[in-house]
Amino acid sequence: MGDTTQNHTLEQIFGAAIAGQKAVAVWRLPLSQKVQACMQLGQQYTTGQPQLEASPFGFFFCPFQVSAQEQNIFIKGDLYFDGEKLAPAADAPEKQLQEFYTLLQAPPSINGWHTSANLENHTFQTEQGFMRAVEKAVEAIQAEQMEKVVLSRNSLQALPENFSPVAAFQAMADAYPRAFVSLVSVPGVGTWMGASPEILVSINEQQEFHTVALAGTQTAVENVADAIWRQKEIEEQAMVERYILSCFKKLRLREYTEVGPKTIKAGNLMHLRTDFKVNLKVVHFPTLGTDMLELLHPTSAVCGLPKEPALQFILAHEGYNRSYYSGYLGPVNSTSGSHLYVNLRCMQLQQHEANLYAGAGITEGSNPQREWQETQHKMQTMGKILSEY
């Protein structure tokens, strides 16, 4: 049975995973047409700190901060879908494999998805609360307690009637060709969807390590060459760059290429981005992916600088639980390598509503009303999918 491949649609596979209480991850890499998915047949999903190089093929889904409620999740690739065929791993458990194939033959049930066991713990940040937190953050930055902090919030939006996560995933993939598009559904943990513009750690099949400094936000213009950036955004992006360089320094890594900053489009927004790459065939650093992951997360683009006071400020003043928003996710040791992205421009599916998330980088020059508007714009990435569905 180990080498059996079968033709099935993504709807059938996702539906069978939900019906069988299995964890499933669906993704599409930036500038790719290929939709991929993997499923785990067993029930043990939680894991410790990810070790990328030693990991079997699968999909990591990790929170902003590990807690008793939100833990690092690893979906082992017992079954892999390459966009056309579904194939089992050599070590996939035979009995559960047969049970899953039986579920695949059944007519797909309603458009269901796994929901979180912790929904009653969800809190929401009000406009007034968010703007007050921004004011406090500016005061703390002026008092030199930190240089920058990222404050975020969430908002509920009703799901359209007959909502289908798979159809919404395909709409996201069409709307955001340059983003990492994902749909992750885990029993007890819930279902998250997103279109992230930000690489955290990537190692491709050519053994090239890649990370980015991404910061600064404004509404997209037709031609990126016409973008004009304020000092606030330029400084914010430079902070993220400096943080990545400080991580390289800690690891005594000197051989890397740096390109940027340049203006990039991400849906209806533009950001400043600098790319950092390391050729692992030339530089002998076998654990660079795992080491950088530990140093980078949470990045200054989702937390702040210096990291510790910014994190403490977030926990004290943000006023709600980020859960898996601004954590990271992506496939590891797949045929195209390991690609972990920051979980931005995302939403969590509840039974009848979607919980949308967005954040803004606060520096000394921040204006509370303007930062609120920035989170509104960022929520449109997912809001657009729900409204045009």
Q: How far apart are CA 145 and CA 203, in angstroms?
A: 35
Chain-centre distance for alpha carbon 275: 18
According to the model, what pLDDT value does residue 3 have?
Answer: 46
Average pLDDT across the chain, whole number:
93
Neighbours of 360 (CB within 10 A): 24
Q: How far apart are CA 202 and CA 257, in angstroms?
A: 15
127-142 and 368-387 helices, crossing angle to 10°: 140
Contact present, 64 and 52 (Cβ < 8 Å)? no
According to the model, what pLDDT value does residue 108 have?
Answer: 66
165-175 and 368-387 helices, crossing angle to 10°: 120
Alpha-carbon radius of gyration of the chain: 20
Share of the chain above pLDDT 70, in %: 96
The total number of residues shown for the chain amounts to: 389
Q: Which residue has the tokens 């009637």?
A: 161
Q: What is the mean pLDDT of residues 214-223?
A: 90
According to the model, what pLDDT value does residue 113 have?
Answer: 96
Burial of 168-202, coded b for 16+ CB within 10 Å and e otherwise, reads bbbbbbebbeebbbbbbbbbebbbbbbbbbbbbbb
Q: How confident is the model at residue 143 (pLDDT cuts 50, 70, 90)?
A: very high
Q: What is the mean pLDDT of residues 31-46?
A: 96
According to the model, what pLDDT value does residue 1 have?
Answer: 39
Q: What is the mean pLDDT of residues 22-50?
A: 96
| pLDDT, tens only, 65-110 | 999 989 999 999 999 999 999 999 999 999 999 999 999 988 766 6
**Domain 119-154+194-387: assigned CATH number:** 3.60.120.10
Neighbours of 26 (CB within 10 A): 26
pTM for this model (two decimals): 0.95
Widest distance between CA atoms in the chain: 65
* 301 φ, ψ (degrees, to nearest 5): -75, -15
| pLDDT, tens only, 41-62 | 999 999 999 999 999 999 999 9
Q: How confident is the model at residue 118 (pLDDT cuts 50, 70, 90)?
A: confident
Q: What is the mean pLDDT of residues 247-256?
A: 97
* 348 φ, ψ (degrees, to nearest 5): -105, 130
Q: Where are the domains of the chain?
A: 119-154+194-387
pLDDT at 388 over 90: no
231-250 and 288-296 helices, crossing angle to 10°: 130
10-19 and 165-175 helices, crossing angle to 10°: 140
Q: What is the mean pLDDT of residues 229-234?
A: 92
DSSP string, 278-300: EETTTS--TTHHHHHHHHHSSPT
pLDDT at 121 over 50: yes
pLDDT at 192 over 80: yes
Q: What is the mean pLDDT of residues 353-369?
A: 95
According to the model, what pLDDT value does residue 2 have?
Answer: 43
Q: What is the mean pLDDT of residues 130-143?
A: 97
